[in-house]
Chains A and B, each alone.
Chain A
Amino acid sequence: EAQVTQNPRYLITVTGKKLTVTCSQNMNHEYMSWYRQDPGLGLRQIYYSMNVEVTDKGDVPEGYKVSRKEKRNFPLILESPSPNQTSLYFCASSFLADRNTEAFFGQGTRLTVV
């Protein structure tokens, strides 16, 4: 089954404690990205990757890091989380050249930073 898998689904952590949210896709997509969803703001892109070892900032990259060492995986790293990073996070993937098709989203990760 074609899917994007994020883990964990729910996470409560304390300020400053480094965490990683994993994302893996099995569709051989070149393009992967992370979004955060906040009430009244919709989804905003944090970082994206157009292929292995190619990453770039989205609209709200501050406080986040990513890496793309393998095509299927695109982890999101919060080195020193703060309460303003409490949000719902989505990983998404799609074929880079085929922009007429939908992006596939992971199940979401609800992060609370206290």
Chain B
Amino acid sequence: AQKITQTQPGMFVQEKEAVTLDCTYDTSDQSYGLFWYKQPSSGEMIFLIYQGSYDEQNATEGRYSLNFQKARKSANLVISASQLGDSAMYFCAMRSTFILTGGGNKLTFGTGTQLKVEL
């Protein structure tokens, strides 16, 4: 079974500062993917960034980067130069990428971190 743990229910950061949102995972799969989604107050789920378990480089997408430490089973999201619009709930999720794994493409989610960006 897969499990995602996000230990920070809420975080505050000042505008223009960098912030790290923690995510640890547990899985017996050798091949898996890690995702981060943003959920603003309007409710929709917005995909931010993806990291494959065999990717040698940490993923980056604009101001988002994923600090992937496979041995520690952590996949922390780093947001650089925070903006007021970054205030939202952030979810870490994982999925097995082994095609024969039962359950198809199920995503296992953490409980989320509520980020508030302050002036």
Contacts and interface: CB of A to CB of B under 8 A. Distances in A.
A77 B104 CA distance: 21
B117 interface: no
B44 A105 contact: yes
Given A41-B111, A43-B107, 13 more contacts: A31-B104, A45-B106, A48-B104, A90-B45, A99-B99, A99-B105, A100-B97, A102-B35, A102-B47, A104-B47, A105-B44, A105-B45, A108-B45
Contacts of A108: 43-45
A96 to B, nearest CB: 6
Contacts of A27: none
A56 to B, nearest CB: 8
Nearest to B97: A99
Contacts of A104: 47
A97 interface: yes
Nearest to A31: B105
A103 B46 CA distance: 10
A38 to B, nearest CB: 10
11 contacts: A33-B104, A35-B107, A48-B103, A88-B43, A99-B97, A99-B105, A102-B35, A104-B47, A107-B43, A108-B43, A108-B45
